[in-house]
């Protein structure tokens, strides 16, 4: 059975797109945001974040967080990952018992090394927490281009007996339409890791593209980056196979292939030699992979997991590393095997760099 009333917290591009998808699927939709000017435009059927798109009637904009949350049957949190804890604390007194929270922010919390679901669970211990993730550029999804994504929640014993009644399945039915196709997963960890790490890999792909390297280079970074995602997911208790799905390989491929992604766009500009302060014409654009490069590497170090591509991005962004030298070290790192089950490491003929 679908959720009747959907509240989306965050009136940016993806939050607005999700509100459009929910309304298109026939749900009652409340879209909460802080910027009253943006909310006024939404009330008029427009938004500055999805230029040229006419919003469907029936999306109710609101700047009243209490009212938006208290009337919801399901809440989607679509704010930057660094704000997830704060927003969860703000909604805690108003979220009705049993109402699921769906995280659409992708990242790992700085300092704690917690996934977004773990952050939410700390603040909202009685709330079912899941995630929605996949290869989803906001404008394309909102304008009705065929799009697919994964909805993930941990499955209880009751959910396994009746999977169609699980929160994940109910959310999938709530958003499914002629153009939007959700898939259901019980591997929340695997889905979240894919969403967090792919942004860092996309910066790497952008860097090398901007620096003038060709398609071979990007393909190698995508595949080896996906292996880093699999390794981290497995270390945290997720499944490697999840990372080969929409929330991993699908999202990674999309994000690493177009400057519509802020992560790819940042990498391209840095690869072209721009200073970070000059990227995006000097505008203060939030790039999740830039923030998560720190938390991903901190977590990898604590777990003893090698993530050399993410480490290279971290070195360039946060340690002043030279872009070309850093990636040259990666390419001359010791030769290893595919698959990982073949235990092999041989010194590279040109020297030793970052193991990868």
Contacts for 303 with CB less than 8 Å, ≥ 6 apart: 232, 235, 236
> Cα 169 from chain centroid?
20
Contact predicate 96/63, CB 8 Å: no
| Residue closest to 251 by CA, chosen among 198, 326, 203, 178 | 198
User: What is the DSSP code string of 233-271?
Assistant: HHHTT--HHHHTSIIIIIHHHHHTS-TTSHHHHHHHHHH
Within 10 Å of residue 157's Cβ, how many Cβ atoms?
Answer: 6
Specify the residue for token string 């491929």: 253
Q: Which helix (H) or strand (E) holds 101?
A: strand 101-103
Catalytic site residue from 198, 230, 283, 306: 198
Contact predicate 228/337, CB 8 Å: no
Specify the residue for token string 């929409």: 246
Say how far apart CA 328 and CA 351 lie, in whole Å. Answer: 10
Contacts for 316 with CB less than 8 Å, ≥ 6 apart: 207, 270, 322, 323, 326
Cross-strand partners of 123? none
Pairing relation of β-strands 180-185 and 335-336? unpaired
- Is 106 tagged catalytic? no
DSSP reduced 3-state for 12: coil
Contact predicate 130/103, CB 8 Å: yes
Specify the residue for token string 């999202």: 251
| Residues identified as active-site | 198
């Amino acid at each position: 059975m679908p959720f009747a009333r959907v509240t989306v917290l965050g009136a940016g591009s993806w939050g607005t797109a999700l509100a459009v998808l929910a309304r298109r699927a026939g749900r009652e939709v409340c879209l909460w945001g802080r910027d009253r000017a943006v909310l006024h435009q939404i009330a008029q059927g427009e938004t500055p974040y999805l230029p040229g798109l006419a919003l469907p009637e029936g999306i109710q904009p609101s700047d009243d967080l209490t009212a938006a949350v208290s009337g919801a049957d399901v809440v989607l949190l679509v704010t930057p990952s660094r704000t997830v804890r704060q927003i969860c604390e703000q909604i805690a007194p108003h979220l009705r018992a049993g109402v699921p929270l769906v995280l659409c922010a992708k990242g790992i919390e700085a300092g704690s090394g917690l996934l977004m679901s773990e952050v939410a669970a700390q603040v909202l211990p009685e709330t079912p927490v899941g995630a929605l993730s996949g290869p989803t550029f906001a404008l394309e999804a909102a304008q009705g281009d065929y799009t697919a994504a994964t909805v993930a929640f941990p499955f209880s014993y009751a959910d396994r007996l009746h999977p169609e009644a699980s929160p994940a399945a109910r959310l999938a039915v709530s958003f499914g339409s002629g153009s939007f196709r959700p898939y259901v997963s019980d591997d929340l960890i695997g889905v979240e890791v894919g969403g967090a790490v792919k942004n860092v890999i996309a910066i790497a792909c952008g860097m090398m593209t901007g620096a003038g390297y060709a398609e071979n280079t990007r393909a190698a970074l995508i595949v080896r980056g996906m292996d880093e995602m699999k390794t981290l997911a497995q270390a945290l208790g997720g499944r490697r196979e999840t990372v080969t799905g929409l929330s991993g390989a699908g999202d990674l491929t999309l994000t690493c292939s177009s400057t519509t992604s802020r992560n790819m766009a940042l990498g391209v500009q840095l690869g072209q030699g721009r200073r970070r302060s000059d990227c995006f014409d000097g505008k203060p654009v939030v790039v999740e992979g830039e923030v998560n490069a720190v938390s991903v590497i901190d977590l990898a170090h604590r777990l003893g997991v090698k993530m050399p591509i993410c480490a290279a991005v971290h070195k360039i962004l946060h340690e002043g590393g030279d872009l070309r030298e850093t990636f040259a070290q990666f390419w001359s790192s010791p030769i290893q095997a595919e698959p990982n089950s073949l235990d092999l490491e041989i010194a590279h003929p040109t020297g030793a760099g970052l193991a990868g």
